[in-house]
Structure 1
Amino acid sequence: MTPYAITLPGRILFGRGEAARAPALIRAFGERVLVVHGAQFARADWLVDALAGQGVEIQRLPCAGEPDLAMLEEAIYHTRGFEPQVVVGLGGGAVLDMAKALAALIPAPGGPMDHLEVVGRGLPLVVAPLPFCALPTTAGTGAEATKNAVIGVPGRKVSLRDDRMLARVAIVDPALTDGCPRGVTLASGLDAITQVIEPYVSCRATPFTDAVTRPAIAQGLAALRRLMQGEDSTARDALAQVSLTGGMALANAGLGAVHGLAGVIGGVTGAAHGAVCGVLLAPVLAMNAARAVPGSVAAVRLAEVLALLRQEFGASDGAAALADWAADAGLPRLTALGLDAAQHRAVAEAAQASSSMKGNPVPLSVDDLVSVLRAAG
């Protein structure tokens, strides 16, 4: 058996009501706490008030969208003087990425460009990150369980990455996702499903990632379909678990062409990451299946995924059925997300250099990727 390693957060708590344990667990890491949250301050008041009750000093930092280099540099400038001892992210994937990046870079002697992949120097962190604690409020990116933070730079999205960036404590309380808007639920849910499918078919898959991803694919599909029909706490629980699973899996097996393309498209258009992944998933699956060598591990696994889609949607073409269902549920096409057909080749060429593409189960040419973009457009 091929050797493999497992990298996970220091501690994971999952379940309704588990968020109530956050203040005491956070307080154990220090007396000065930086709380990164979404644009709406009120949604984080419960945590800030509870931490204040623990006798800690708090600085709050709102993160209104997916973090880019300018936002990150400004946030470092405003938070270094506070000298936090622990960083907490309470929000969706963008918030968690910002918090994770700040935990890594506040103590760093240099700036983000010293450490960002692809566009920066890609240097390892020379000072250990601050303790990072994660409380996701959407079920999508699984950022609470990953060792990288995604940052936008002009024209693409890239990662800051280090094993020590993993959360010391990740608290996944599905109740924090209750009432999430329908469009956000759809986009983030499709991202969660993508992130259990891509690691399962990845050329870097391991027995560990197989064990957690294979059962989660059908679970995620069923839960998301129920949530598109109306609020359902049981489905929220299931999708939150799928999102956590996806984060654990991608941290250990990588991703694939969906995320390779999505990172570039997000940088070019500013479109929401989950929506981009959602519209790319079906055509990437179809293209990978068409390019897989018959009888290979990749071909067998892709066939399994397509069979699960056929079963879930009761259709002869699983990939097409997923695309049609997502469109009917309101997922926009790439054109509506801001990507013009004239940009397809440049996006495809840039995507081939992404770290995510290294996990794709089969090699895809630039022409293959252009075909995927055309199908998703």
Structure 2
Amino acid sequence: MKSFSLLAPRIVFGRGVVSSLPKEVARYGSHVLLVRGRSVPFVDVIDAGLRALGCSVTTIICSGEPDLPQLEVALTTARATQVDCVLAMGGGAAIDLGKALAALIPAGRGPMAYLEVVGEGLPLDAAPLPFIACPTTAGTGAEATKNAVIAVPSHNRKVSLRDDRMFADLALVDPALTDKCPRGVTLASGLDAITQVIEPYLSARATPLIDALCRDSIPRGLQALARLMQGEDSSARDDLAYTSLMGGIALSNAGLGAVHGFAGVIGGRYSTPHGAICGRLLGPVLRMNERVLPEQGEKIARYQEVRHWLAEAFGGEPDSAFRLLEDWVDDKGLPHLSELIAPDADLTDIATESRTSSSMKANPVTLETHQLVQILWETLHR
């Protein structure tokens, strides 16, 4: 059997577990930095619960996906208050901002010293503060990853701050917090969650343990998302939250692929929703990868499994599974790629830059620039 290791946070999962959050957080210190999204269910109750336990709370609101200017302002505020721990509640953006702050508050330098690709990429020179993540959407799996994605406007790029010590001390996932999430957000974030269990399963770095997580989570997540597009369903919310959590663990241990290689570049250039990019490019990337793979072997067998799971969820034959996915996202109203990039976008330039992404390194096959351009072109002209 192939050797492997597993990195993951301590996890508490289930409906109603959010009620234990104030006591869990208070274990890590009495001065809490609360990083939250603008509209986050239950966050005021958590704030009040922390104060009732004698904690002081400093709040930072995450507006949109975190970028370097927002991070620098928040870092100045956080360092001045001498917090003991960081709690992030919200979607992936709030969790990434909170995770970055927990990592950088004790660090000796500014963010650019540690950011990948556009910065110096240095390892953290101090251990992060204790970090607790409580997601209120099911998509990024950021509660279970060791990196924080930060947009750097001066470089038109989204890059990561990454360190094995950046895993949350506690990832508390209560699917009830995702109930009645708007349909469009559910669709885009759900497609991100599904991409983040499919890409690690097909990854060049796949491991036996991650395989086991993904084999369960891929069909579970696909069927949950299909049900949620028909109407509110608490059981499907549970399954999608679980898929998102498993995706965070999977990508941290087995990497991602070309879909996310594109997403960091496109999202950084055009500030478009990450989940929508993933949902639009998943089918075309799977198709291109399969074309390039050898006709026999374990990798192609995995693609056949993914085809079967897609066909089962969306109704149809495995041979046309990638087209089924593309047609399904059309039918559900996911923005077209032409709405996510500029009309005059240079596809070769996007493809060239995407090849340098850390996510691209785990793609199951090496895709040349012309093949990446073809993926974009086919997606735009389907």
Query: Contact between 2:2 and 2:208, CA under 8 Å: does it hold in 1?
Result: no
CA deviation map 1:309-364 (0-9, x unaligned): 12322323000100110111010111112343532111110110000001101111
What CA distance in whole angstroms lies between the structure 1 residues aligned with 2:15 and 2:39?
Answer: 22
- Correspondence 1:204-219 to 2 at 5 A: 204-219=205-220
Query: Contact between 1:256 and 1:357, CA under 8 Å: does it hold in 2?
Result: yes
- Correspondence 1:1-377 to 2 at 5 A: 1-9=1-9, 11-40=10-39, 44-154=43-153, 155-316=156-317, 317-340=320-343, 342-377=345-380
* 1:212 to partner: Cα distance: 0.2
Query: Contact between 2:197 and 2:217, CA under 8 Å: does it hold in 1?
Result: yes
Query: Contact between 1:341 and 1:374, CA under 8 Å: does it hold in 2?
Result: no
What CA distance in whole angstroms lies between the structure 1 residues aligned with 2:91 and 2:325?
Answer: 24
Distance change in 2, residues 1:287/1:341 (3 Å): farther
What CA distance in whole angstroms lies between the structure 2 residues aligned with 1:214 and 1:28?
Answer: 35
CA deviation map 1:75-102 (0-9, x unaligned): 1011111111100110000000000000
Letter paired with 1:184: V
Letter paired with 2:144: A
Query: Contact between 2:40 and 2:90, CA under 8 Å: does it hold in 1?
Result: no
Query: Contact between 1:255 and 1:360, CA under 8 Å: does it hold in 2?
Result: yes
Bigger Cα displacement from structure 2, 33-42 vs 147-156: 33-42
Letter paired with 1:234: S
Local SS of the residue matching 1:335: helix
Letter paired with 1:88: L
Structure 1 length-normalised TM: 0.98
What CA distance in whole angstroms lies between the structure 2 residues aligned with 1:40 and 1:307?
Answer: 38
What CA distance in whole angstroms lies between the structure 2 residues aligned with 1:185 and 1:312?
Answer: 16
CA deviation map 1:102-134 (0-9, x unaligned): 000011110100000000000000110001000
What CA distance in whole angstroms lies between the structure 1 residues aligned with 2:40 and 2:247?
Answer: 28
What CA distance in whole angstroms lies between the structure 1 residues aligned with 2:63 and 2:70?
Answer: 10
Query: Contact between 1:289 and 1:303, CA under 8 Å: does it hold in 2?
Result: no
Distance change in 2, residues 1:153/1:237 (3 Å): same
Distance change in 2, residues 1:83/1:110 (3 Å): same
What CA distance in whole angstroms lies between the structure 1 residues aligned with 2:19 and 2:140?
Answer: 22
Letter paired with 1:37: R
Local SS of the residue matching 1:185: helix
Distance change in 2, residues 1:272/1:243 (3 Å): same
What CA distance in whole angstroms lies between the structure 1 residues aligned with 2:67 and 2:163?
Answer: 19
What CA distance in whole angstroms lies between the structure 1 residues aligned with 2:7 and 2:41?
Answer: 34
Query: Contact between 2:188 and 2:334, CA under 8 Å: does it hold in 1?
Result: yes
What CA distance in whole angstroms lies between the structure 1 residues aligned with 2:301 and 2:344?
Answer: 32
Letter paired with 1:71: Q
Letter paired with 1:324: D
What CA distance in whole angstroms lies between the structure 1 residues aligned with 2:25 and 2:230?
Answer: 36
Query: Contact between 2:226 and 2:313, CA under 8 Å: does it hold in 1?
Result: no
What CA distance in whole angstroms lies between the structure 2 residues aligned with 1:113 and 1:296?
Answer: 43
* 1:369 to partner: Cα distance: 0.9
Local SS of the residue matching 2:89: strand
CA deviation map 1:171-230 (0-9, x unaligned): 010000011110000000000000000000001000010010011111111100111111
Local SS of the residue matching 1:342: coil
Gaps of 5+ in 2: none
Structure 2 length-normalised TM: 0.96
Q: Give the number of equivalent residue pairs.
A: 376
Query: Contact between 1:115 and 1:122, CA under 8 Å: does it hold in 2?
Result: yes
Bigger Cα displacement from structure 2, 74-83 vs 248-257: 74-83
Gaps of 5+ in 1: none
Cα RMSD (Å): 1.1
What CA distance in whole angstroms lies between the structure 1 residues aligned with 2:243 and 2:8?
Answer: 15
What CA distance in whole angstroms lies between the structure 2 residues aligned with 1:40 and 1:64?
Answer: 10
Query: Contact between 1:265 and 1:339, CA under 8 Å: does it hold in 2?
Result: no
- Using the aligned pairs only, state the percent identity: 55
Letter paired with 1:362: V
* 1:43 to partner: Cα distance: 5.1
Any runs of at least 4 consecutive aligned residues in structure 1 with deviations exceeding 6 A, and if so which? none
